[in-house]
Amino acid sequence: MFFPYSTWRKGQKKIAQEVCLAVINSKCLVMEAPCGLGKTLAVLVGLTPLVSEGFRVIWLARTHNESDKVIEEAKLLNLQSQDLLRGLSLRGKTSSCPLLHGCDEDTAYLACRTLRSELLCPFLDQENLDRCLQHIEENLPLISSQEVVEEAFKFKACPHEVMRKLAIKRSIVSMTYPYLFNPHIRKAYFNSLRIRPEHLVVVIDEAHNLLNILQELNSKKVSLKTLCRALEELSIRGYEKLASSLENLVSELDSMASTGDLDFGVELSFSSLEQLLGLSSSMSFTEYLEELELAVKEMLAIRAVKGLNLRCHAASLYNFLRHLLSLRENSIIWLHNEHHHASPCIEVRSVTAINALSFLSPFRSVICMSGTLAPLKKYVSLIGLQSVRERVKLMRYLRPKVGRAIIIIDNSLSTSLRERHKLLYVKINYKIKLIRENTHQGLGVFVASHRVLQGMVEAGLEEVVPGPLVIDQASEGISNPLERFKKYLSMNSYATFVSVIGGRFSEGVDISSKLMPIAVLVGVPMPEPTVFAEKAKSMYLKMGFEKPDELLYKEPAMRKVSQTIGRLIRSPQDKALVVLMDRRYGRGLVNYLPQWLNYRLIYTDNPLSIIREFSSATEFNVGGQH
Ligand code: SF4
């Protein structure tokens, strides 16, 4: 086997062998192995000999950055294997096409189709496309989506078209989950790759997200604000019939939003939505949709001709209503506040993943991997992997344990709903201030939810915590907050980084304990009770899961916590101190931490003395392995 380094990390060789065997034997493999072990590289090593036998690989990642990283790792292998691997990563139109920035994916799809059919896109010159493709084929056997966008820009070619053509010939294609799991994208794009199913290996990276992803990809939501803007667009353009129905819907939803508890949510039905739209025998739902589609296409074409931005709220309404037509038994329609801001939206969302993966069964092999999948058998049932293969090979890395962590459980407070009030946030801020004053390195503060973070900010977090403070704002690019944090560290040797547990800095990014040796996790990222969760609970009970609360609340929360700790423990040598600031951790939740993690557990109301000791020590002992 080709391996780009002089030595393997413990466990990597086994992973490579198991992956290779799973493909040879046409099996599904579910694998849990430590964060930071080098799983991606190990899996690529296992796949490399198979690629030369004619197998092709679809690698599914959570984000574009993570999907690009797979190609970067494959480049290391190519140094050893004389360019044996040929691959690329893909990204969607909204983040690659110069004309579609700012659109949502569905609108981008519709807008692109309209531009193509009206011959309005300037990036489809065949000669430019051919020159761009030839250049990449001759010079770049492995190319990330970011590099494709840059090359396409140089040749004035459509980046999406370049990616699509390249993907037909490449053996490793890395992409985000929707390419394969969203049935519309799969039909429109994936099927054109001409891959023989029995030669295809699908790798699902960070697979602990799979249930959520399957739920999300079969979901669609539209905010009340978007509906109001769609109403404006339709009225201005004179689509009176469409506008008047929509006006009914908006005013009814508006009054429900002002009277109902939208944090918990209100369940709606398809027929109630039809009624709210004021549809009657004179116009059916399908007729309304057909008329709306024509109106949207007309509006998009007018904007394209005028050179205006192609963002269109009526298109978002159309996409939402169209999705209602594919409503399944395991879905819910509900009106609720979007999770981190009080903005009402209607959403249609899948509750379970029943049969969502069955389309994978013709493929040669499916490999699911993550640092946090246990209990593996339950995971397999929950995502319905038995619909792909009756028997699934399970692999769990247990020893030698990885990293050296001290985990302190601070029993003095909790962010549970009952205990949230201004004084709690003042207390949390004060504790963080003390920790900050007693450490002289990078400090991470990861907070249970955007609401808790908002409470802390309103209680004066920025004024109370001394020194440079970087709060992750979703509006910034992902590298910016981390770069600022690093810059402060290089200038002052200490700085505080604040983000949300389960947010974009809690998985898929390398932080490491060198940069952030101490992290405080404020609260438990337990999903809040909603009408959606209630429905899921009753469905899980029907499916035979005895403890649905574990599935819905404890396990997802502790996976997020483990992933967050995994940002600090990036290698077997990393050592970190983690304060779990919520007494609920001490009531059994801590038992859900991954078994590969080497840690010492300390319960206390006042973690300061341990933090001081840790902060000044060059060496420390985590004691026995747990
Ligand atoms: S054809 Fe390509 S460049 Fe043109 S709108 Fe579509 S994605 Fe953009």
- CATH number of the domain within which 179 lies: 3.40.50.300
pLDDT band at 475 (very low <50, low <70, confident <90, very high): low
579 domain-assigned: yes
For residues 414 and 506, membership in a common domain is answered with yes
CA pair distance 523, 431, nearest whole angstrom: 13
- Flag whether 192 is in a domain: yes
- The number of residues making up the chain comes to 626
Same domain for 254 and 338?
yes
CA-based nearest residue to 615, from 380, 484, 443: 443
Average the pLDDT over 561-565 and give the result.
93
At 309, is the pLDDT very low, low, confident or very high (cuts 50, 70, 90)?
confident
Clarify whether residues 203 and 342 are in a common domain.
Answer: no
How far does residue 163's CA lie from ligand 1's centre (Å)?
A: 12
What pLDDT band is residue 23 in, cutting at 50, 70 and 90? very high
Angle 64-80/39-51 helices, nearest 10 degrees? Answer: 60
Pocket test for ligand 1, best of 101, 119, 161, 300 (most atoms within 8 A of CB): 161
Compute the mean pLDDT over every residue in the chain, rounded to the nearest whole number: 88
Residue 75 lies in a domain: yes
Which atom of ligand 1 is nearest the CA belonging to 122? 4
Nearest CA to ligand 1 atom 2: 158
Residue bearing the CA closest to ligand 1, atom 4: 121
- Asked if the structure places residue 128 within a domain, the reply is no
Whether residues 483 and 595 fall in one domain: yes
Amino acid, single-letter form, for residue 592: Y
Residue 102 and residue 311 in contact, taking contact as beta carbons nearer than 8 Å: yes
Lowest mean per-residue pLDDT among 314-328, 365-379, 451-465: 314-328
> Is residue 525 one of the residues assigned to a domain?
yes
Among the candidates 396, 422, 455, a domain finishes at: 396
Half-sphere exposure (CA, 13 Å, Cβ side) for 289? 12
Please give the angle made by the CA atoms of 578, 580 and 581, to the nearest 5 degrees. Answer: 130
Q: Which amino acid type is present at position 345?
A: C
Cα 121 to ligand 1 centre (Å): 6
Please state the rounded mean pLDDT for residues 262-278.
88
pLDDT digit string, tens, across residues 188-210: 777 777 788 899 999 999 999 89
Alpha helices in 419-530 (DSSP H): 422-437, 450-458, 461-464, 479-492
Calculate mean pLDDT across residues 555-567.
Answer: 92
Residue 268 lies inside a defined structural domain of this protein: yes
Q: Give the highest mean pLDDT range of 76-90, 198-212, 267-281.
A: 198-212
Q: Does residue 287 sit in the same domain as residue 226?
A: yes
> Does any domain span residue 625?
no
Please state the atom number of ligand 1 nearest to the C-alpha of residue 100: 8
Q: Does 374 lie in the same domain as 297?
A: no
The tens digit of pLDDT for each residue in 429-445 reads 999 999 999 888 899 99
**How many angstroms is it from 126 CA to the middle of ligand 1?**
13
Highest mean pLDDT among 157-161, 389-393, 490-494, 618-622: 157-161
Based on the structure, what is the number of domains in the chain? 3
Return the best residue to mutate from 94, 103, 115 for the ligand 1 pocket (most ligand atoms within 8 A of CB). Answer: 115
Q: Following DSSP, what letter does each residue of 333-356 receive, concatenated?
A: EEEEE-TTS--EEEEEEESS-TTT
How would you list the strands of the sheet with 172-176, edge to edge? 142-143, 87-89, 172-176, 56-61, 200-204, 365-370, 28-32, 392-396
Residue 191 included in any domain: yes
Provide mean pLDDT across the span 500-515. 85
Please tell me the least confidently modeled range out of 80-89, 137-146, 263-272: 80-89
**Do residues 458 and 512 touch, judged by C-beta distance below 8 A?**
no
Find the domain containing 284 and state its range. 222-350
Q: Does 511 lie in the same domain as 362?
A: no
CA-closest residue to ligand 1 atom 8: 97
Same domain, 368 and 272: no
Output the CA 73–ligand 1 centroid distance in Å.
29
Higher pLDDT, 457 or 473: 457
What percentage of the chain carries pLDDT values higher than 90?
Answer: 52
pLDDT band at residue 625 using 50, 70 and 90 as cut-offs: very low
Do residue 37 and residue 178 come from a single domain? Answer: yes
Residue 276: alpha-carbon gap to chain centroid: 33
Q: Which amino acid is at 43?
A: V
CB atoms within 10 A of CB 221: 18
Dihedral angle computed from the Cα positions of residues 551, 557, 560 and 564, in that order, rounded to the nearest 10 degrees = -150
CA of 309 to the centre of ligand 1 (A): 14
- Out of 95, 110, 119, 123, mutate this one to test ligand 1's pocket (max ligand atoms within 8 Å of CB): namely 123
As for ligand 1, residues whose beta carbon falls within 6 Å of it are 93, 97, 99-100, 112, 115-116, 121, 123-124, 158, 160-161
pLDDT at 560 over 50: yes
8 against 620, higher pLDDT:
8
Same domain, 212 and 304: no
375: preceding bond cis by omega (within 30 degrees): yes
Do residues 301 and 191 make contact, with C-beta atoms less than 8 angstroms apart?
A: no
CATH code for position 246 = 1.10.275.40
Q: 145-155 vs 64-80: helix axis angle to the nearest 10?
A: 90
Q: In this structure, are 573 and 465 located in the same domain?
A: yes
Same domain, 182 and 295: no
Write down the ipTM of this complex.
Answer: 0.98
Contacts of 476 (CB under 8 A, 6+ apart): none
Q: What is the pLDDT of residues 477-497, one digit of tens each?
A: 666 888 999 999 988 778 999
Instruction: Give whole-number Cα distances, 345 to 106, 296, 337, in Å.
Output: 17, 21, 6
Beta partners for residue 521, in sequence order: 446, 580
C-beta of residue 148 within 8 angstroms of C-beta of residue 137:
no
- Rg of the chain taking only CA atoms, in angstroms: 25
